[in-house]
Each structure stands twice: as structure tokens, then as C-alpha cells.
Amino acid sequence: MISRRRRSHKYTPYSELSARRRRDAFICLRGKILGNTPTFGGKFTSHQILNESERPALSNQWFDFLFLGMDGRTIWNAEIITARRHFWDKVGSIAWDHATALMSEDERAAEFKLEFEPIAYRGLKMYQLKPRERRTYEAFGGLTFEEYEEQAAAGIIRNEPPSVHESFRTDREYAYGIGLYLVVDAEEIDREIVEATITRFQEQGEADWTAPKPVARERLPYDTENAALAALRSDSTKNDSHPARA
């Protein structure tokens, strides 16, 4: 029996469409996947670019893609991320909570208020986000929100790093396909990782799953995302300023 609970959205989730409509969508996607075989190998398709040779591994930590279920009607609308990316997301969430907990309601309202200013573009009046005023806070020891958040994130990684598990999590409220969130222990996301993860998901019965053991600590970052990106930019600048000799 289909639940008649009230939803905030105005669409029917894909999982509640008729078998015929799901089969039609399945066949349509199967054609797209076959057509994109030269690019993605024939097991999935995506609107994104994968396996760019010049992109550093740090820039390949997540990927959105679509693939077919084993029942002939299901479409999986998937996002795959590395354990590193998931770790940074968890650290960022904890650091955000730590920082906002120290602020008053008025301070939070002022810090996160979005203001827009008009600009002229090709004869049209448009709006852009107004640069935010730099605010420091006594509760942060005179630091800005971003500075304190980065400091908090570094402390969390150093003293109380959160555990991260490989996992598959489904969401049947998607309008197109069934949502699927995949966390994998990999240095970066490439075609081989996507294909291997699809196979693992199918072997698990296309169901929610969490690895019993967390990802080993040595497989996770010891610095913040901002610090890692800064180091990457620094290395890139050094390489650009010292071109290889002929």
C-alpha cells in the first residue's frame, strides 16, 4: 500500500511511478549509456567529465552519474565521493557547529545575511552578491568566522578526527531515478573506481550498506581541505615558474 503522507514537493517520486513509466525511462537511459560507451565504457553515463589527465587527484574527489538497476526498471541517480571528501565534509560540519554555537543570534544573522547590489551587464540591470564586510568576534579571539572555522577544523583533525565508513545509501524520494550516495576508499574517482563500485553495489543486492570497519586513519587526511588546496596551488605555482628545460 502506497503511503499517503503529505509531501513538501509536488512531484511523484520515481520509485512510485507505474512499472510501465519506469520501464520506458529505463530503456531511454539504456540507449544513452550505450551511445556514450566510447566515453564512459558502457556501464554508466554522466553530464560531467571524468578521467581528465591534467586534473590533480584532489580535484577528482566526487562524481555524479546514472546507471541501470538489475530489475529492468530501476535507474540509479548516483553521487560517489571518496572517503577523504567524506571526512572533510564531516570535519567541516563539526567545525561549523562549534563556531556558530559561540555566536549570538544577532551575530549569526549578520554574518550569514546575503545582500545583493545592482550591476549593468550588456545594457541590462542585473544583481550580484555584495562583498561581505569583514567581521571579527570576541568569542573567536578576534578572528573572523572563516579563520576560526579553519582553526577549529584543524583542531578536530588533530585531536578528535571523526570515523568514516565506506557505505551505500539510497533515497527513494528522487524525481528521476532512485538516489544513491556512495562513499568509497579511493585516492580519486575515475572510471575504474565507478565501475568497480557499481559491481560492489550490485553484489550487495542494490541495498543500503555500511562497512563494519571504518576506513583506516592513515588513509584519511591529516590537514584541512583549505590547507591541502593551498599546498596544491603552491606546488602548481612552483612548477609554472620553473619550466622543464629542453
DSSP symbols for 79-127 = EEEEHHHHHHHHHHHHHHHHHHHTS-HHHHHHHT---EEEEEETTEEEE
Last residue of a domain, one of 159, 181, 214: 159
Across 118-126, average pLDDT: 85
For residue 212, is pLDDT > 50? yes
**What residues contact residue 192 under an 8 Å CB cut-off, 6+ apart?**
none
Last residue of a domain, one of 114, 140, 159: 159
Please report how many Cα atoms fall inside a 13 Å half-sphere around the Cα of residue 185, on the Cβ side.
14
Give me the pLDDT at residue 187, please: 96
Q: Are residues 175 and 227 in the same domain?
A: yes
6 belongs to a structural domain:
no
Q: Which residue has better confidence, 52 or 75?
A: 75
Phi, psi of 57, deg, nearest 5: -55, -35
Q: Are residues 151 and 178 in the same domain?
A: no
Quote the cell numbers at residue 46: 554522466
Give me the pLDDT at residue 176, please: 97
Range(s) of the domain holding residue 149: 91-159
For residue 157, give Cα distances in angstroms to 5, 149, 162, 233.
Answer: 41, 12, 8, 21
Q: pTM of the entire structure?
A: 0.87
For residue 4, is pLDDT > 60? no
Average confidence score pLDDT of the chain = 92
Q: Are residues 70 and 114 in the same domain?
A: no
Give me the pLDDT at residue 2, please: 35
74 belongs to a structural domain:
yes
50 belongs to a structural domain:
yes
For residue 138, is pLDDT > 60? yes
51 belongs to a structural domain:
yes
Give me the pLDDT at residue 1, please: 33
